[in-house]
Amino acid sequence: MERLDKRVAGSLTRFYVVALCVVAMLTISGLFLIRRTISSLNHDSRVVNVAGRQRMLSQRLTKLALLKVNKTPASDSVRFSVLLNQWRTSHEQLASRRLPIEDGVVTWKSAALDTMFSELEPVFDEMHSQFLAVDSDSISSTEMQDALQVILKNEPLYLDQMDKIVFQFDKESFQRLENLERIEWILGIMTILVLLAEGLLIFRPVVNTTRRVVRMLTESEVALQLSNQKLKETNLQLLDIQKELLVVEEEKYELQLAEDRIRAASLIEGQEEERKRFALELHDGIGQMLTGLKLHAEKLKSVQFHDEKNQKRFEQLVSLIQDIIQTTRQISFNLMPSVLNDFGLTSALKLLCEQTTEVSRAQVDFEGDTSERIPMSNLMETSLYRIAQEALNNAVKHAQASRIKIKLEHTRNRVILEIADDGKGFSVDDLKTENFPVTSGNGMENIRTRSQLLNGKIEIISKIDGGTKLVLEVEL
């Protein structure tokens, strides 16, 4: 125990000494960087030089303007326009507080200098415009003389203001230098004080506290190992319990799925039986009575009506009876088409396409072999027919398709039903993934439920404005 305490304390002592050395080195480096920053103030001399050069350029431009107005040859080799552009550029750089140098751009902030340049701006603009007038060859001698007088009048004001600006630059540069020197001394003294405080107030307490904490941790190590052993045993027991719970949950989920399928199958079977019964009632009951009514009405055609209006009403009555008979037959067919039981799925789908084409604006085509009946159970035939009927209804009413194709293929052990349309389409990701009951009124859910009951593989391919394609594959 004691060896561990001493070893930890010695390591911490060495680390802390290294840390103190690093702090000292950082402090010295900070002082060095401050000295380098002070040396960077040499850029201020460049600003002062540019400001002083502005005075020289204004005097030089005034001299050249005077010589040009008096038509005296000048010994100055630099063009007047070049000097004027240099004078204007330097003024804009100083006024905007951005002066380019060899290795970058010098910027500064000074409310006093901004005020001075604001006061100088009207004088500079007046002189600059008059210099441009003197440099122009399109004005008369009198106008040149007037421009020269304006320049001579404003030059003393410009030079006086530039003197103030130069002195202000120099004053601010000296103040920055003094501030940096004061900061340097303050940082040095504070660093020394921090080092002394660390040694007296932190180093020794940290060592003592660390030694005590390490002793306590060492003493509790054995107890912790025992607790860990007990926790491992408890965790193993919990893992076994979790595995058993997972098995129970999976069995419960499978059982619930099976119950849902049985319930859905029973519900669908009940619906189909009710539809069949109701279709027979319509066909054999109301349909026969309407047919008899139509026959009796047709026998009355030979009767002469004295009133022409009664004759038209009778004709309308006969036509209405015929429409009711046709509607009743259509409803009976939709509930349970007799051709499905008599001739099989292929013939029923072909007749469904023909009738849908007649009553809707869409062109519905069927592709399949109608020469033989596919051997399958009545439940499978009914389910496939309802799936095709639901998909066709969705394509006509919701997708607003103009062309629909139903294709039925079969091999020895497989049936493939395909319904494709050129309608509006939809996003497949928006389809619900939960298993809703068939009575919810959701067409896609009805299709999905029936396909699950058949143990079929269903694939829905659709995109916005790209049509929809439904492919169902069922094993025989």
Give the pLDDT confidence of 360-372 residue by residue, as tens digits: 788 999 988 877 7
**Is 88 part of any domain?**
yes
- Give the DSSP letter string of 169-220: HHHHHHHHHHHHHHHHHHHHHHHHHHHHHIIIIIIHHHHHHHHHHHHHHHHH
pLDDT for 390 equals: 86
The CA distance from 451 to 261, in Å, is 11
State how far Cα 161 lies from the chain centre: 58
The CA distance from 355 to 353, in Å, is 6
Q: Report the relative pairing of strands 414-421 and 468-475 from DSSP bridges.
A: antiparallel
Q: Has residue 20 got a pLDDT over 80?
A: no
Decide: 150 and 66 in contact? Cβ < 8 Å: no
Which helix H or strand E contains 69, and what residues bound it?
helix 42-69
For the record, the structure tokens of 442 come out as 């959701």
- Give the DSSP letter string of 227-264: HHHHHHHHHHHHHHHHHHHHHHHHHHHHHHHHHHHHHH
pLDDT band, very low/low/confident/very high, at 454 (cuts 50, 70, 90): confident
**Is 303 part of any domain?**
no
Q: Has residue 378 got a pLDDT over 50?
A: yes
pLDDT band, very low/low/confident/very high, at 185 (cuts 50, 70, 90): confident
* Domain containing residue 388: CATH number: 3.30.565.10
pLDDT band, very low/low/confident/very high, at 441 (cuts 50, 70, 90): very low
Contacts of 225 (CB under 8 A, 6+ apart): none
CA 400 vs CA 203, 360, 463: distances in Å: 83, 10, 14
**Is 298 part of any domain?**
no
Q: Has residue 1 got a pLDDT over 60?
A: no
pLDDT digit string (tens) for 268-293?
666 666 666 666 666 566 766 777 77
- Supply the pTM of this predicted model: 0.41
pLDDT for 8 equals: 59
User: Angle 440-446-448 (CA atoms, 0-180°, nearest 5)?
Assistant: 130
Region class of 4: left (phi > 0), else alpha (psi between -120 and 50), else beta: alpha
Domain-terminating residue out of 156, 189, 218: 218
Order of strands across the sheet that contains 468-475? 363-367, 403-410, 414-421, 468-475, 457-462
pLDDT for 404 equals: 92
Domain-terminating residue out of 200, 218, 236: 218
Q: Report the relative pairing of strands 414-421 and 403-410 from DSSP bridges.
A: antiparallel
User: Angle 129-132-137 (CA atoms, 0-180°, nearest 5)?
Assistant: 140
For the record, the structure tokens of 271 come out as 């619906």
The CA distance from 239 to 340, in Å, is 56
**Is 113 part of any domain?**
yes
pLDDT for 435 equals: 46
Residues in the chain: 476
| Relative orientation angle of helices 378-397 and 345-359, to the nearest 10 degrees | 20
**Is 344 part of any domain?**
yes
Q: What is the mean pLDDT of residues 10-32?
A: 69
Indicate if 214 and 354 belong to the same structural domain.
no
Number of domains in the chain: 2
Q: Has residue 138 got a pLDDT over 70?
A: yes
Across the chain, mean pLDDT equals 78
Domain-terminating residue out of 218, 246, 280: 218
pLDDT digit string (tens) for 28-40?
866 776 666 665 5
- Give the DSSP letter string of 358-410: HHSSSEEEEES--SS-----HHHHHHHHHHHHHHHHHHHHTS--SEEEEEEEE
**Is pLDDT larger for residue 198 or for residue 224?**
224
Indicate if 50 and 196 belong to the same structural domain.
yes
Q: Residue 377 is part of which domain span?
A: 337-475
Closest to 417 (Cα-Cα) out of 355, 348, 359: 348
CB atoms within 10 A of CB 97: 16
Q: Has residue 48 got a pLDDT over 70?
A: yes
pLDDT for 406 equals: 92
Contacts of 130 (CB under 8 A, 6+ apart): 65, 147, 148, 150, 151, 154
**Is 300 part of any domain?**
no
pLDDT band, very low/low/confident/very high, at 419 (cuts 50, 70, 90): very high
Indicate if 49 and 184 belong to the same structural domain.
yes
pLDDT for 347 equals: 82
DSSP E strand boundaries for 51-108: 98-101, 104-107
CA 474 vs CA 267, 455, 462: distances in Å: 21, 7, 21
pLDDT for 421 equals: 92
Q: What is the mean pLDDT of residues 48-77?
A: 81
Q: Has residue 316 got a pLDDT over 50?
A: yes
**Is pLDDT larger for residue 236 or for residue 378?**
236
Contacts of 374 (CB under 8 A, 6+ apart): 344, 345, 346, 410, 415
Closest to 170 (Cα-Cα) out of 102, 99, 113, 107: 113
Top-confidence range, 7-11, 158-162, 296-300 = 158-162
The CA distance from 49 to 181, in Å, is 24
**Is 249 part of any domain?**
no
Burial zone of 389 (CB within 10 Å; 0-12 exposed, 13-18 middle, 19+ buried): buried
Q: What is the dihedral of CA 222, 225, 229, 234, to 10 degrees?
A: 110
Q: Report the relative pairing of strands 403-410 and 457-462 from DSSP bridges.
A: unpaired
Q: What is the mean pLDDT of residues 38-50?
A: 69
Q: What are phi and psi of 377, to 5 degrees?
A: -75, 160
**Is 258 part of any domain?**
no
Burial zone of 385 (CB within 10 Å; 0-12 exposed, 13-18 middle, 19+ buried): buried
